[in-house]
Amino acid sequence: MGQGFFQIGVTLVIVIAIAPLFGKYIARVFMGEKTLLDPVLNRGEALIYALGGVRSKDDMTGWQYARSILFSNLVMGVFVYLLLSFQRLLPFNPNKLGTPTWDTVLHTTISFLTNTDQQHYSGETTFSYFSQTSALGFLMFVSAATGLAVGIAFIRGLTGRPLGNFYVDITRGITRILLPISIIGAIVLLALGVPETLAGTMVVETLEGGTQYIALGPVASFEIIKQLGENGGGFFGANSAHPFENPNSAANLIATIAMISIPASLIYTYGLFANNIKQAWLLFWMVFIIFVVLIGVTAAGEMQGNPLINKVLGSEQPNLEGKEIRFGWAQTALWAIATTATMCGAVNGMHDSLMAPGGFSTLLNMFLQIIWGGQGTGTAYLFIYLILTVFLTGLMVGRTPEFLGRKIEKREIVLASVVLLIHPIAVLIPSALALAYPQTLSGISNPGFHGISQVVYEYTSAAANNGSGFEGLGDGTLWWNLSTAFSILLGRYVPIIAMLLLADSMAHKQPVPETRGTLRTDTTLFTGVTAGVILILGVLTFFPVLALGPIAEGFKLAAGG
């Protein structure tokens, strides 16, 4: 038990140490300041802008930024859909895999395009090496860079700067952050035992004289951007529980740090943009404390195990169902919270096998979307809550709400409300439809309270652009492919548009001088109030499904049912 919590503690200490260093580097990249990579990349980026017809010094309005995202995503989505549809005709298909059904291809394209990477297929038996790398791997980079660009544009707008140029931001996000780290990370993972090969499936004879097929592929390069970009889509069906994706504790630690590093560091990046490091650290610690509490709740549940099994055994044993024994209950609990907190969605154990506290915590992470949140967009969500807190506290004390010296008015509150309301719409309505037809639509494998969690989790994962799932669910059907694709699109693009419009509105406001009546947002008290608003709004919105799902399941297990 002590060793498990020690491993969790070491990981958290590394995250704390990385955040200010990486946050400072990200700020330098997007502020246009000099970095060590400038001599290598400046000319290459200039060539990219010239070929794309991008005027790199031109700033965009909120609508222009949003239209650029939608247009580029549409073009990339059509391109990848065609690649996946014709994979049988394309190279690097040593296992001669055919084309999946059109709805699987559509869902997969939308899922990877939006940084969701929800998979209703098993990678090693569905898509060729060319499809996995040139199509899905390509989307892993551009979708992560798109989210990062949105987060940076939002921070610029809040701090009174022009939003910037989307094409410049996405290029710099890839060339200065995602690609260099991915190259180094892939080499490290390769040294740790993750394969990187174009050889086909290996056929071996077992000790019993049987035949075993061992899937291979260019996994190391795929794995690092999967984690760093908070993509989460596995090269293999078992995802990071597969020994070729995650062979040992060192690889597991690198993967965990990679998925947390950018969203945690972006809070510090905000502090540099706003010239208010104090507020950045207060927000960092607020998110960190909630993160640690949810890890503790999940870890305690997994450590105590299933009371029904413990009753039979006559002693308390940890829950090892659905766990990869190489990592055990502690690292699985930490990973489960990290992957749903960051909207990565990768798994190193099966979430369907988590005890009720783990199901509660993972769902709550995706309901809130700010601990640490999606790539770039999670930071924007955090400040949406901050703006609402300023508005609510301003009403309570009779002050005009202001944030960073700019007034919060009707337009900002309407846009912030759209961002927060679209998520429950994208989750609860399709969940209700699926649960209304449990035999024909839902595909529930575990009836009762857990079955409700399976369905709600799938749509929450889709709408939050997370991609993980309670894998006991029969989700490889036409209904699930199309309905979750709808939730993915709604949960991705509507909030992004609203965020950019809100940031643009804030950027064009004239700053007002600070007075004795100005509500300071960089205090411990205000940060505590913000935490309360986040938990109240998040929990109250989704409390019925939490009560009918993991909470009810926990009470049932405790009662011996």
Residue type (1 letter), 471: E
Phi and psi, residue 216, nearest 5°? -125, -165
Sequence-distant (≥ 6) Cβ neighbours of residue 181 within 8 angstroms: 224, 228, 258
371 lies in a domain?
A: no
Distances (CA, A) of 488 to 138, 362, 427: 19, 18, 10
Region 142-154 average pLDDT: 96
Q: Is the pLDDT of residue 444 over 90?
A: no
Q: Which of 74-88, 275-289, 343-357, 387-401 has the lowest mean pLDDT?
A: 387-401
Give the per-residue pLDDT at 102: 95
Judge whether residue 143 has pLDDT over 70: yes
**Picking from 135-139, 229-233, 283-287, 509-513, which range would have the lowest pLDDT averaged per residue?**
509-513
493 is a domain residue: no
Cα distance between residue 328 and residue 433, in whole Å: 37
The predicted structure's pLDDT at residue 561: 61
Nearest Cα residue to 337 out of 307, 368, 380, 304:
368
Judged against a pLDDT cut of 90, whether residue 521 lies above it is answered with: no
Using a pLDDT cut of 90, give the percent of the chain over it: 69
* Residues in the chain, overall count: 561
Local structure of 534: helix, strand or coil:
helix
Go through 139-161 and write b for each residue having 16 or more CB atoms within 10 A of its CB, e for each that does not. Answer: bbbbbbbbbbbbbbbbbbbbbbb
Residue 517's pLDDT band (boundaries 50, 70, 90)?
low
Q: Residue 435, Cα to own-chain centre: how many angstroms?
A: 26
Residues 6+ apart with CB under 8 A from 42: none
Q: Compute the distance between CA of residue 483 and CA of residue 433 in angstroms, rounded to an integer.
A: 10
Cα 326 to chain center, whole Å? 24
Tell me what the mean pLDDT of segment 374-385 comes to. 92
User: Nearest-CA neighbor of 222 among 292, 112, 143, 138?
Assistant: 138
Residue 37 belongs to a domain: yes
pLDDT value at residue 60:
93
Q: Tell me the sheet residues that pair with 249.
A: none
The torsion angle over the Cα atoms of residues 216, 217, 218 and 222, rounded to 10 degrees, is -90
400 pLDDT higher than 80? no
Averaged pLDDT of the chain: 91
**Banded model confidence at residue 326, pLDDT cuts 50, 70, 90:** confident
Instruction: Look at residue 306 and tell me if it is in a domain.
Output: no
Report how far residue 388's alpha carbon sits from residue 234's, in angstroms, rounded to the nearest whole number.
37
- The answer to whether the Cα torsion of 38, 39, 41, 47 is positive or negative is positive
CA 331 to chain centre: 18
Better-predicted residue by pLDDT, 40 or 441: 40
Reading the block at residue 135, the tokens are 């199509």
Instruction: Judge whether residue 350 has pLDDT over 70.
Output: yes
Residue 146, both tokens: 């798109």
Q: What is the pLDDT of residue 144?
A: 96
Question: Taking 70 as the threshold, does the pLDDT of residue 51 lie above it?
Answer: yes
Q: State how far the Cα of 529 lies from the Cα of 526, in Å rounded to an integer.
A: 5
Average pLDDT over residues 3-9: 85
- Domain-located, residue 392: no
Tell me the residue range of the domain where 124 lies: 27-267
pLDDT band at 233 (very low <50, low <70, confident <90, very high): very high
The 8-class DSSP code of residue 174 comes to I
| CA atoms of 388 and 383, how far apart (whole Å) | 8
Contact 203, 94 (CB under 8 A): no
pTM of the model: 0.94
Burial of 394: CB neighbours in 10 Å, binned 0-12, 13-18, 19+: middle
Which one is predicted more confidently, 103 or 40?
103
Q: Is residue 288 part of a domain?
A: no
Overall average pLDDT of the 272-276 stretch: 94
* Nearest one of 91, 72, 76 to 132, comparing CA atoms: 91
**Structural domain tally of the chain?**
1
Give the three-state DSSP class for 407. Answer: strand
Candidate from 146-160, 280-294, 470-484 with smallest mean pLDDT: 470-484
- The DSSP H or E segment spanning 501 is helix 478-507
Q: What is the structure's pLDDT at 545?
A: 92
Sign of CA dihedral 62, 68, 71, 72: negative
pLDDT per position as a tens digit, 476-490: 899 999 999 999 999
Rounded-to-integer distance, Cα 66 and Cα 133, Å: 27
Bridge partners, residue 84, by sequence = none
Query: What's the confidence (pLDDT) of residue 276?
Result: 93
3-state SS class at 204: strand
Percent of the chain with pLDDT over 70: 99
Cα 164 to Cα 336: distance, rounded to the nearest angstrom = 35
Q: Give tens-digit pLDDT for 449-474.
A: 988 999 999 999 999 999 998 877 88
pLDDT digits (tens, 9 = 90+) for 98-130: 999 999 999 999 999 999 999 999 989 999 999
Quick check: is 272 in a domain? no
Residue 362 located in a structural domain: no
**Interacting residues of 493 by C-beta distance below 8 A, sequence separation 6+:** 69, 70, 114
Of 109, 104, 131, 140, give the one whose Cα is nearest residue 120. 104
pLDDT score, position 1: 60
Quickly count: other Cβ atoms within 10 Å of residue 78's Cβ. 12
Q: What are the angstrom distances between the C-alpha of 511 and each of 156, 255, 305, 404, 492? A: 14, 42, 55, 8, 31
| Residue pLDDT, tens place only, 55-101 | 877 899 999 999 999 999 999 999 999 999 999 999 999 989 999 99
